[in-house]
């Protein structure tokens, strides 16, 4: 009989799925309205590209700058997820590896096993 009751309760719960509720009602809209756009305007991209010389702008602790010129990405210096805006001041060129590396510094590693083996930032460097 107990099993019967439990089954009925479970089935009832499945039959009536709860509508997606906000964890903090009233905050969702405010959050969205204040969030900056992820879109980087063409003018900003062009200016950043010229300023950084079409080269990854990552500078290591030993002050050597990355030499990578291929597969460059527009990096938010202050992360987009932390309200970083798509302005020339906040956008910088990064190669794929350094964009990933800096994202891991902020958000934590994607792949703990792989990153744990890494003792220094990846990349090829040259003196300024
Ligand atoms: Zn780089």
Tell me the per-residue pLDDT of 61-99, one tens digit each, with 9 for 90 and over.
999 999 999 999 999 999 998 999 999 999 999 999 999
CA of 54 to the centre of ligand 1 (A): 11
CA of 121 to the centre of ligand 1 (A): 9
Give the whole-angstrom CA distance, residue 66 versus residue 111.
23
Rg, C-alpha atoms of the chain: 23
pLDDT tens for each residue of 37-66: 889 999 999 999 999 999 999 999 999 999
DSSP strands (E only) in 32-86: 65-66, 72-76
pLDDT band, very low/low/confident/very high, at 4 (cuts 50, 70, 90): confident
Give the whole-angstrom CA distance, residue 26 versus residue 28.
6
Residue owning tokens 């597969």: 71
pTM of the model: 0.61
CA of 58 to the centre of ligand 1 (A): 5
Best CA proximity match to 36, nearest among 78, 69, 6: 78
CA of 126 to the centre of ligand 1 (A): 11
């Amino acid at each position: 009989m107990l099993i019967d009751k439990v089954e009925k309760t479970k089935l009832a719960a499945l039959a009536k799925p709860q509508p997606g509720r906000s964890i903090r009602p009233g905050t969702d809209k405010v959050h969205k309205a204040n969030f900056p756009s992820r879109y980087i305007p063409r003018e900003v991209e062009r200016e950043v590209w010229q300023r950084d010389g079409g080269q990854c702008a990552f500078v290591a602790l030993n002050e050597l700058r990355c030499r990578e010129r291929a597969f460059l990405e527009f990096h938010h210096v202050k992360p987009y997820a932390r309200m970083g805006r798509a302005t020339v001041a906040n956008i910088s060129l990064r190669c794929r590896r350094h964009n990933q590396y800096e994202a891991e510094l902020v958000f934590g590693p994607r792949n703990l096993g792989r990153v744990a083996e890494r003792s220094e930032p990846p990349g090829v460097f040259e003196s300024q």
